[in-house]
Structure 1
Amino acid sequence: MDWFEEWFDSPLYEKLYANRDEEEAAQLIELLEETLSLQQCSKILDLGCGRGRHSINLSKKGYQVTGIDLSKQAIATAREKARAEGIDNIRFKVRDMRDPLPETFDAVVNLFTTFGYFKSDTENASVFDSVRQMLVPGGIFVLDYLNATRVRTAIRSSEEGSFHGIHYTIRRYIKDNAVFKEIEFSGDRIDGSKNYAERVKLYTRSWFEREMGKRNLTIDHTYGDYQGSDFDPESSDRLLIISHLKEGSVK
């Protein structure tokens, strides 16, 4: 079993990341709205949608949104959140991002570093094959990823904290061109301890440019944060890539 199949379905995942910033998610969607030439009725696929933060924000803007994620727990939570907010123009499906849906979209978004989870470069690059199949000619692909160069120079090696009587420690390190995060949970509410791990391959802009270019995905702009600053490999927090599928591309 891959690390993300076990970790993303764990109830401890939801507890650890319960306070992820909804305002930040809304800010990213506002930037994309300002940047992308999408009509309100545009069909958008949220590739690796997680618990649905970005999908729901896009749906509130009037877009026809489909969110897919491999985690059954994530999709169940996303559906619950949409129902709680009375949103019905949204679909969530359990699906591997390497397995394209049998339909096309005006835009595909892959947000909050939901990329680089697979062991090999070939597997990770195959996600672009899936994206290419699901985009209409001229369609937009947005990839929101970490800045690998900055991660290498500014990695925070350890941290710890607690919530609801559960203690956690996190250790981070870089190995085999990937950043690893090892998480251990302990406390009275846990039988012994629970250990999970995250691993994300570290890719630079040039890798994305090369691999996306092979699939006729052309990079139009790169931002370095959710405020729309230009990307600086030395200092930017994010690598936010805006691209499109060349018109006339053969699928």
Structure 2
Amino acid sequence: MSWIAEFFDDVYLDFMQYYRGEEATRQEALFIQKALGISPGKRVLDVACGHGRHMAHMPRDSVVGVDINVKYLKYAKRFGDVVAGDVRNPPFRRGAFHGAYIMHSTLGMFGPEADLEILTWLSGIIKPGGRLLVDVANKAKIEDIYAALGETWNFWISAGPYRVLSTAHYNPLHSKIREVRQIYKAGKYLGERVLELTLYGLGELRIMLSTVGFVVEAAYGDFNGEEYRRGSDRLIVVAMKTSGVSKALEEAVKWTK
């Protein structure tokens, strides 16, 4: 079983109700609506929608959710249409959506090759002129922590009754961070979970997006609209779909076959 299947369980679902509660989720959803220009008649895709945390605060019939976790989709379908599918190969026709958003470092969970594959598919299903929002952990801030503390450091995460001791390991050669989390709820130990991410900087995301036909329009450091800075917790990029996959990428794919 992959770390992803083990990580996104009932404990994570409960933890998120406290970690990113109703008010924080509503603020994120409003930011997404504004960034993507969601309005009546426009349909956008929630990539890896999970239990529908953001769908719950979107205009009705404006968002379709896709996720591979069928158990989470049972919750998400209360807020709109959902589809069970792998985000690395979403089951939608070309130009099906006016925009899409991929949140909470989902881009980064599968590795560089698969992440570029995800962006390529999203380029295909978003109409020209549509927008894509990508939210990832801020690589620059994590690299500054690495420079100050070394390759391993510990920190606590508190959320409602939860206390989580996280031990982070950063590999700068591969831009990968691995967190081993010891989870406690109301003083009771619930076990260990592992999170692994490939991190991307603003320049790297710009190149990846441009390769598959997007132009970056803005970068933010928070869902309150704060401009992106090196010390921001998040890197939130908004990009517009302008064209198809670049000739260079097409030739590279042909060459590997």
Range class of TM-score, shorter chain? 0.7 to 0.9
TM-score by length of 1: 0.82
How far apart, CA to CA, are the structure 2 residues paired with 1:226 and 1:126?
A: 26
Tell me the residue number matched to 1:200. Answer: 197
Where 1:157 maps in the other structure, the secondary structure is: strand
Matched, 1:181 2:179: yes
Structure 2 contact 38–62 (Cα < 8 Å) conserved: no
Structure 2 contact 156–166 (Cα < 8 Å) conserved: yes
Cα distance change of structure 1 residues 11 and 33 upon mapping to structure 2, 3 Å threshold: closer
Tell me how large the CA RMSD over aligned residues is: 2.8
Cα distance change of structure 1 residues 158 and 135 upon mapping to structure 2, 3 Å threshold: same
How far apart, CA to CA, are the structure 2 residues paired with 1:161 and 1:111?
A: 21
How far apart, CA to CA, are the structure 1 residues paired with 2:160 and 2:90?
A: 38
Where 1:97 maps in the other structure, the secondary structure is: coil
Structure 1 contact 100–133 (Cα < 8 Å) conserved: no
Tell me the residue number matched to 1:93. Answer: 83
Tell me the residue number matched to 2:238. Answer: 242
How far apart, CA to CA, are the structure 1 residues paired with 2:60 and 2:40?
A: 5
Q: Which runs of 4+ in 1 moved over 4 A?
A: 160-164
Structure 2 contact 221–234 (Cα < 8 Å) conserved: yes
Q: Which amino acid aligns with 1:91?
A: D
| 1:55 Cα offset (Å) | 1.4
| Residue correspondences, number | 235
How far apart, CA to CA, are the structure 2 residues paired with 1:215 and 1:62?
A: 30
Tell me the residue number matched to 1:142. Answer: 133
Cα distance change of structure 1 residues 161 and 56 upon mapping to structure 2, 3 Å threshold: closer
Cα distance change of structure 1 residues 173 and 219 upon mapping to structure 2, 3 Å threshold: same
2:219 aligned residue (218, 222, 235): 222
Q: Where does the alignment leave 5 or more consecutive residues of structure 2 unmatched?
A: 147-152, 247-257
How far apart, CA to CA, are the structure 1 residues paired with 2:215 and 2:232?
A: 22
How far apart, CA to CA, are the structure 2 residues paired with 1:97 and 1:239?
A: 20
Tell me the residue number matched to 2:100. Answer: 108
| 1:160 Cα offset (Å) | 6.7
Cα distance change of structure 1 residues 99 and 36 upon mapping to structure 2, 3 Å threshold: closer
Structure 2 contact 36–133 (Cα < 8 Å) conserved: no
| 1:195 Cα offset (Å) | 2.7
TM-score by length of 2: 0.80
1:154-197 per-position Cα deviation (integer Å, ceiling 9, x unaligned)? 47623277987x8753322212421211123479x98x973320
Structure 1 contact 44–63 (Cα < 8 Å) conserved: no
Matched, 1:16 2:15: yes
Query: Taking every aligned residue pair, what percent have the same amino acid on both sides?
Result: 19
Where 1:17 maps in the other structure, the secondary structure is: helix
